[in-house]
Amino acid sequence: MLGKFYTFLVVLSLASFTCADIDLHALAEEIRVFSIQIEDSKVATTLKADADRLEMPSSNPREQIRTIENILQKLDNYKKKEGALTLRRGCIRAETYFQEIPYELLRQKVREYLLEQYPDAEIEFSYKEEGKRLGDCAHVSLSGRPEVTYHAKTHGRGLYSSVEPESSYYEAEPVDLRELFVYKFLQYSDLGPEVHFAWYNERDFYIITKDVGCTESGEVQKYDYRTIKSRRDLLGISLGARYTEFEPSQEIFVNPAVVRSLVLIDAISRIFELEDIIMNYGNFFFVTDISGSISSFKVVDFEVSNRRTTFAETLFRGFLIGTGPYRCIGFSDQISRYFIVDRDVKTRIKTAQEVFLPLVETFTRAIERSFQNILALQKEIPTLDVEPLKEYHQEIQDNMDALVKNLQTP
């Protein structure tokens, strides 16, 4: 939840926005006047208390929204009362305003951060189209250079973009350092986007990733694994619209780079205890080289599991039978399912040996570099609890060692 100091920051930084768009004092007075019409003294009293809360200087945007929703709920029972419709419109307008404040704060912090990287740039924002977390796309324009797009969002325990039951729309928890750790690992191992962090505090913390299709030389084509066209390109043949009809005999037509990518995503998911990658095709992309051929993949989003189902002693057994923290038994896409679950075990082991083992040293360096990078955040945000990160770091090392040992001597 935004604290009192942060509320002061909100009011200070958005003062003109507040004065121009909403007069809280006038709205509170309208509520008090309306409460006089209510015969139920209990309802009248609570309406007056709501009006007082709207004007409290210590209230933050999320509390204001909650108060307005309480008022609107009460107004539903008095639709025919004089002034009810006008008051309702005023409350909805105020609610809309307060819902926009978290976006304004995100944009302000992201703009501030990007201008440090690109001092002479023009930066514009557009709403992100997917995902449950509150976020925006930042478009950086520089004279004589291609536009660069960054995706900014709250951390995994941050605010939601809309009101949902049991969501963190009203309250943000402290950032999970494991999530930041994985983002940095993916960047340093060249399996994820360039990532940056900006924050007001440990709760209002933003993850900023460079679009995987943006490079210094311009746009690089990226394949979204969800689309039919992409899958045809990935296969090199046309199997029709129903890819659940994929047969093992068609294995020879699948792009080898796709197979390598799926195997690596599987290994990383197990080692880092990740969910929501292969099961969510919007969370990873295939990218092409200069010739237009698929050369690699980028993981752009994920969830660190809290179920702790992957441990070093059971990790390889899960690999052998095709189970894991992301429950791949539920695959609807038979291409992914085949190469991670249904393919002959000896062949899957051989592919993992060929694809994963040569990268162990690179991954080990990336893990240590990422760990030190995230530990250093505590110097700038002293309230961060780094103990869970240290435990996670040890788990990852144990998982890595276990998978390497078993792949070397299965």
Structural domains in the chain (count): 3
**CATH code assigned at 126:** 3.30.200
Say what the pLDDT of residue 48 is: 94
Same domain, 180 and 325: no
Same domain, 235 and 194: no
Tokens standing for residue 341 = 């679950």
Q: What is the mean pLDDT of residues 233-261?
A: 64
The DSSP annotation for 193-237 comes to --EEEEESSSSSEEEEEE-TTEETTEE--EEETTSHHHHHHHHSS
- Picking from 85, 101, 117, the residue at the C-terminal end of a domain is 101
Q: What is the CA radius of gyration of the chain?
A: 25
Say what the pLDDT of residue 177 is: 97
Tokens standing for residue 296 = 């690699």
Please state, in angstroms and rounded to a whole number, the distance separating the CA atoms of residues 159 and 134: 6
Say what the pLDDT of residue 139 is: 94
Same domain, 228 and 352: yes
> pLDDT tens for residues 347-373?
999 999 999 999 999 999 999 999 999
Same domain, 176 and 285: no
pLDDT of 229 over the 90 cut: no
pLDDT of 3 over the 90 cut: no
Which of the two residues, 277 and 138, has the higher pLDDT score?
138
Q: Are 293 and 304 in contact (CB under 8 A)?
A: no
- Picking from 214, 233, 255, the residue at the C-terminal end of a domain is 214
Say what the pLDDT of residue 9 is: 39
> pLDDT tens for residues 296-337?
888 999 999 886 655 677 888 888 877 754 454 444 567 777
Task: Name the percent of the chain lying above pLDDT 70.
Answer: 79
> pLDDT tens for residues 28-68?
999 999 999 898 999 999 999 999 999 888 777 778 888 99
Confidence of residue 111 (pLDDT cuts 50, 70, 90): very high
Q: Indicate the burial class of 5 (C-beta count within 10 angstroms; 0-12, 13-18, 19 or more).
A: exposed
Which of the two residues, 97 and 6, has the higher pLDDT score?
97
In the numeric block, the tokens 């029709």 are attached to: 240
> pLDDT tens for residues 143-155?
888 889 999 999 9
Characterize the bridge pairing of strands 205-210 and 218-219.
unpaired
Tokens standing for residue 153 = 């969002």
Say what the pLDDT of residue 61 is: 79
Q: Indicate the burial class of 112 (C-beta count within 10 angstroms; 0-12, 13-18, 19 or more).
A: exposed
Same domain, 171 and 315: no
β-sheet bridge partners, residue 123: 140
Q: What is the mean pLDDT of residues 391-404?
A: 94
Terminal-residue alpha carbon distance, the chain = 49
- How far from 203 is each of 169, 174, 175, 236, CA to CA, in Å? 13, 4, 6, 46
Same domain, 78 and 177: no
- Picking from 80, 101, 122, the residue at the C-terminal end of a domain is 101
DSSP state of 404: H
Q: Indicate the burial class of 73 (C-beta count within 10 angstroms; 0-12, 13-18, 19 or more).
A: exposed
Say what the pLDDT of residue 209 is: 95
Supply angle C-alpha 152, 3, 376, rounded to 5: 55
Domain enclosing residue 197, as ranges:
103-214
In the numeric block, the tokens 């969800």 are attached to: 226
Please state, in angstroms and rounded to a whole number, the distance separating the CA atoms of residues 289 and 237: 20
Q: What is the mean pLDDT of residues 79-95?
A: 90
Same domain, 253 and 350: yes
Confidence of residue 14 (pLDDT cuts 50, 70, 90): very low
Q: Are 35 and 47 in contact (CB under 8 A)?
A: yes
Same domain, 145 and 271: no
Per-chain mean pLDDT for the chain: 81
Which of the two residues, 394 and 241, has the higher pLDDT score?
394
Same domain, 261 and 391: yes
Nearest 10 degrees: CA dihedral of 362, 367, 369, 372?
-170
Say what the pLDDT of residue 222 is: 54
Please state, in angstroms and rounded to a whole number, the distance separating the CA atoms of residues 175 and 376: 15
Same domain, 258 and 320: yes
Say what the pLDDT of residue 230 is: 45
Same domain, 8 and 133: no
Q: Which of 376, 385, 332 is nearest to 174 (CA)?
A: 385
pLDDT of 69 over the 50 cut: yes
Task: Name the percent of the chain lying above pLDDT 90.
Answer: 48
Question: In this structure, which amino acid lies at residue 208?
Answer: I
Same domain, 67 and 110: no
Return the SS3 of 297: strand
> pLDDT tens for residues 163-220?
554 444 567 899 999 999 999 999 999 999 999 999 999 999 999 999 887 654 444 4
Please state, in angstroms and rounded to a whole number, the distance separating the CA atoms of residues 121 and 146: 12
